[in-house]
Amino acid sequence: MAETYNKEETKELARRYKDMLKGSYQELSSDDKKLIRKAFDLAVEAHKDQRRKSGEPYVYHPIAVAKIVANDIGLGTTSIIAALLHDVVEDTEYSLEYIEKEFGKKVAVIVDGLTKISGLNRETTSIQAENYRKMLLTLNDDVRVILIKIADRYHNMKTLEFMPIEKQARIASETLYIYAPLAHRLGLYSIKTDLEDLGLKYTEPEIYNDILDKINESKEERDQYIAEFSKIIEKSLLEEGMEFEIKGRPKSIFSIRRKMMAQGVEFDEVYDKFAIRIIYKPKSKDERHDAWKIYSIVTDHFTPNPIRLRDWMTQPKSTGYEALHTTVMGPKGQWVEVQIRSERMNEIAEKGYAAHYKYKNTEEKESSIETWLNRLKDVLENTDANATDFVENVKLNLYSKEIYTFTPNGQIKNLPKGSTPIDFAFAVHTEVGYHCRGAKVNGKLVPLSKELNSGDQVEIITSPNQKPKLQWLDYAVTSRARTKIKNSLKEDEKKMGEEGREILQRKLKSIKVTFSEKTVNDLVNFFKLKTSLDLFFRVGNGTITNQELKDFAAQQSGALMSLLKGKIRKKSTTPIVIEDEITSSKYDLLVFGKDEERLKYTMSKCCNAIPGDKVFGFLTINEGIKVHREDCPNAIDMRAKYGYRIMKAKWIDSSQREFSVNIKLAGIDNVGIVNSVTLLISNSMHVNIQRINIDTEDGYFEGHIRVSVKNNEQLNILVKNLKKIDGVMVVERDG
């Protein structure tokens, strides 16, 4: 052992090593133990000259991480070795090639992934987003990278008190932003709970300590209450021959704080501050039968709250979590949450991914945790997205609660809470999503923006002519749907740009302007666009009008006349350069909230957002809405501390903003008049119909149509074309 450790530290290293192995979840062979010892000796040697902020030998940290990996997460030999060596390549002279040579390819891949993630902490821009993205990219290599990184952060949070105060809040905020939801999604509930509590401890210390003090003050009373509650049901459980253990615990400080905020109440008013957990050994082959038997015994003694029953056994969470939860009215009129789990269910709840894999039968269908990992890989395919987009896409699935929906033939589709038929369509199949024209929920037609609920049976109506629309992004929730829609819109924009180029050539010819590369560049500058594709696209969809092209021609003609006059007068031999202001982005309008409202705001000076940046609004107390970039240095802190004051915001292209208009139609009721009207609007004009109502009586019809148009010229063209339909006598704007 290295000479830089004193006698006491040498003894402590030996003790910690034995402690790490003693509680290992997996069975370790003698060969496994030899490899782990070899890795332990290398870590001790490699880190011999390093100390932590606390003054302890640095090697205590990788040993602690390995213990969390072995005991709390329940991983095996490869992960334990990688945890022991996770900082060796980054912080010492040992190379990745050496690690691979001594411990094999798998260990090297994991250590490499962990080294890359740690290296991002030296970056200065959007650390949390890049950190998150890098971790998720490692899913393509080995999910154990993330599990060990969570263990690494877990131990760092336990020793955060030794870090400088200014770093504590940043690290704690990042933990709440990234690591806690990841731990939750991978089923590591115990670690997730501790990470949330530790995160709150350093982001809102006063609140944390206040709740902790109140929990400690009531400990004796709580323990007595739990004993009284348990005694009542223990007798009945024993009479049924059940083998069980009853545990009582307070709810986490973070969850109590969340309830206080959500319900607008004080600590004393939170009605279920602790839970009872009944862990049983199954009597029969059917674990669920035993769980419901225990539920029946509990509810024989205590009245259940009917809206607080959660059956995670029949349909486990996508993390693999299984249990039966209920809330009952206990002694002295107090609500108590009761969690019923078999030993197997409890093991999966505590160990997460590792235990789920242990109990998985090789002949079973793909496990739900693996399904989730595959969904993440779908997001990874969208390589064009920047780090912040990537994070927001993935976090949609991480943070949201789940709903369970059904296809017409009864197949279950797990979706995040808040999902719509668009999300459901893409969950069924990409092509179903692309061609989604409408949806029926429980047999009734609904808007594509309708929020789905658990138990809904959803039928997607498709059409081969249907394509994704820009407005779908306003109500698509899942990252899969949003990514596919964006990719499709890019393709459509490209095709319309090709059509727009031909249209522009014809229009310029009609106003006697030569179509050339110079003319295109001048037009891009005139309309303050970014690229020629933006120009062609706007011509193709009718956003750029004939009058605007004539205005361009007039300006060019006026500039040329000024140039000629200048030359005739010979006042200057310096060439005249006509300059137009060019904006850095085609996004020129900032809107807020789901309804994209135009509100008053000011730009925050801490990050200086500009049009086109990914931004959010922050509702201040005295200065109204302040706009920050998503990767603002203060973003983590604001999201962690004041999430309820964050407003969704985005820059949009005002030229593509659509406006709703009501049109009144009247005329002679010819056969097929409705079909003629809708075909012209949807297919010929490519205008979206929001609502249509046509009544006929004695050969006369009158109709009211609500459509979305981009500008007044497009509306005028639509009205003009509707008047050409045989039988239509009146077309006018309605209201």
> What residues act catalytically?
90-91
Around Cβ 711, how many Cβ atoms within 10 Å?
15
> Which two structure tokens, joined as six digits, stand for 409?
């033939």
How far is it, in rounded angstroms, from Cα 423 to Cα 481? 6
Q: For residue 497, what are the contacts with CB-CB under 8 A and spacing of at least 6?
A: 533, 536, 537, 540
Do the Cβ atoms of 450 and 459 come closer than 8 Å? no
What residues contact residue 623 under an 8 Å CB cut-off, 6+ apart? 602
Partnered with residue 101 across adjacent β-strands are none
Which residues have a Cβ under 8 Å from the Cβ of 655 and sit 6 or more positions away?
A: 538, 543, 586, 710
Structure tokens at 362: 């090789």
Which letter does DSSP use for residue 74 in this model?
-
CA distances (Å), 200 to each of 151, 170, 203, 252, 641, in order?
18, 12, 5, 11, 9
Place of tokens 């024989």: 300
Q: Identify the residue whose tokens are 């669920």.
A: 288
Beta-sheet strand order (sheet of 646-652): 589-592, 646-652, 615-619, 625-629, 602-603
Do the beta carbons of residue 47 and residue 109 sit within 8 Å?
no
Query: What residue type is 707 in one-letter code?
Result: V
**519 alpha-carbon distance from chain centroid:** 43
Q: Tell me the residue type at 247.
A: K
Q: Which two tokens stand for residue 10?
A: 């040498």
DSSP assignment string, 626-648: EEEETT-TTHHHHHHH-GGGEEE
Bridge partners (DSSP) listed for residue 457:
406
276 CB-contact burial (10 Å; exposed 0-12 / middle 13-18 / buried 19+):
buried
Contact at 8 Å (CB) between 296 and 324? no
- What angle (nearest 5°) sits at the alpha carbon of residue 494, between those of residues 490 and 497? 135
Angstrom distance (rounded) from CA 114 to CA 313: 35
What is the identity of the amino acid at 690?
Q
* CB atoms near residue 168 (< 10 Å): 18
- For residue 558, report the phi and psi dihedrals to the nearest 5 degrees: -65, -40
